[in-house]
Amino acid sequence: MILASLLFALLAAVLHVYIFTMESITWSRPATWKRFSITSQADAETTRAMAYNQGFYNLFLAAGALAGTGAVALGHTPVGWTLIFSSCGSMLLAALVLALSGRKYLRAAAMQGATPLLAVLFGVLGLLTA
């Protein structure tokens, strides 16, 4: 269970680094802004600062999950699990907010929330049975 939790925390982090890349680096490219239902280059430019900020939010969540995974792997389990549960819990709650924002966001919310949910569930189960 612990290994599965760490794997899902890593996958959640990788996904959030990818989201960071889209929101903070490639936002102005049509292929990127169309993925976020932006309908024009002008609208992409208008929302660029918001997306840039949101991208860093995702990067910081990924950093917490990566640091937590590394800490657990190095034997610093209280710090590591705190970082994993905090980062993945925040990812999961953000996915819930996205899902509640409208039906058109359900697929994105499921993709964003699945790996942190599994990281938290397997982590809790693994720690309870250890």
Question: Angle CA(77)–CA(83)–CA(57) in degrees, nearest 5?
Answer: 160
- From first to last of its 130 residues, the chain has per-residue pLDDT tens of 999 999 999 999 999 999 999 999 999 999 999 999 999 999 999 999 999 999 999 999 999 999 999 999 999 999 999 999 999 999 999 999 999 999 999 999 999 999 999 999 999 999 999 7
Number of domains in the chain: 1
Q: Which helix (H) or strand (E) holds 110?
A: helix 106-129
> How much is the pLDDT for 68?
98
Distance, in Å, from the CA atom of 20 to the CA atom of 39, rounded to the nearest integer, reads 20
Distance, in Å, from the CA atom of 103 to the CA atom of 80, rounded to the nearest integer, reads 35
Domain residues for the domain of 70 are: 2-129
